[in-house]
Amino acid sequence: MRTLITDCRIVSAGLDINSGAILIENDKISALYTKGDTLPNADKVIKGDGLIAMPGFIDTHCHGRNNADFCDGSVDGVNTIARGKLEEGVTSLLPTTLTLPETELSAALEAIAQHDQKGCKLPGVHLEGPFINVHCLGAQNPDYVQLPDVSLVKRLNAIYPVRKVSFAAELEGADKLTAELCSMGIVPSCVHSAANYAQFERCYTQGMRNLSHFCNQMTPLHHRDVGLVGAGLLKNDVYSELICDKLHICPEMIALTFKVKGSEHVVLITDAMRAAGMPDGEYSLGGLPVISRDGAARLKNGGALAGSVLKLNVALKNIVEITQLPLSELVKSLTRTPALALGLANIGELTPGYQADIVLLDTDFAVQKTIVDGAIRFER
């Protein structure tokens, strides 16, 4: 099966072709063409109509969407989220869990294992918690916080592959957990943490190279101890994940992070919860009541931010406006960079031989078509 996408602006890492075409053979990208090239015959032609073609987006941190949460333990809910994310241009997604009892985490992964594979791809799970600092909860439930326990990760990994685990670096046994996760091919990440720089350094020496929702629920930059935010800025090889909704992080901090880290080590995430894609109203996260209003999800009691309702294509639009950097540079933070951070092969670039995961957007970054493994799974 040969599919040809014509008349599109092709934007990938370090690449910006004003008017070109993309040839897909079965599920992989076969060739790129520029204006004036002779185009090959194809079984199917998708007219780009001047749209922007980018690699499919990768969201490494998402709890839910369309009034569904991965921790509901519902197969229908998993399928609803995976289909809904296609509307944002997401072609690969890490279902993200919460700090909950093992029985509920197991049920969540069992439901994920039964997804119908008609939405975006789910290459592995992200466990956010339960190994977090009880004093840095954010919207996590304090009743189920526990110390690092690799045996729990192994039991969950046997149900569905665990790709990333986010935990507090200062907890007893965190450095050992880091080493064990790395040996299993699982990405260790720090979050919901009061770690000082030295405590992070202990995990760093064991292989930690990731900071989940950078700046949120972690020790801020201080001139006597640069903390986790300082570590994220100082360590060139650490991936810093940003929720770029202009609420979790102010535009100036977003600009600073890109200026210091570059898009090679900044990963855009949504941290979206079930209110994403839904009207304003009352929802829940991990059993805690949440009010979604005016683009923000906050705990009903206390008002702390409780995940987001951000869409990844909107996050791209925001960083374009904030940083004014070239699109061929910024696109890395939604595609190639998260793929490299997670060790996902052959996705994240519009390159011959890579999977044909492609999103077509208009000039306002609204998604018009999402292609997964060479097949259109969403079109407006």
Cis bond upstream, residue 142 (ω within 30): no
* Closest to 40 in 3D by CA, of 90, 88, 5: 5
Contact 237, 210 (CB under 8 A): no
271 is catalytic: yes
CA-based torsion, 94, 347, 188, 209: positive or negative: negative
CA 9/CA 11 separation, integer angstroms: 6
CA 243/CA 251 separation, integer angstroms: 11
CA 375/CA 357 separation, integer angstroms: 9
CA 138/CA 193 separation, integer angstroms: 10
CA 341/CA 331 separation, integer angstroms: 15
The angle, 0 to 180 degrees and rounded to 10, between the axes of the packed helices 102-112 and 150-157 is 30
DSSP state letter for 188: E
Cβ neighbors of 321 (< 8 A, separation 6 or more) are: none
Judging by beta carbons within 10 Å of its beta carbon (0-12, 13-18, 19+), is residue 236 exposed, middle or buried?
exposed
Catalytic residue among 72, 175, 245, 271: 271
Tokens coding 177: 């957990």
* Closest to 228 in 3D by CA, of 188, 266, 196, 252: 196
Cis bond upstream, residue 251 (ω within 30): no
Q: Could you give the residue numbers annotated as active site? A: 271
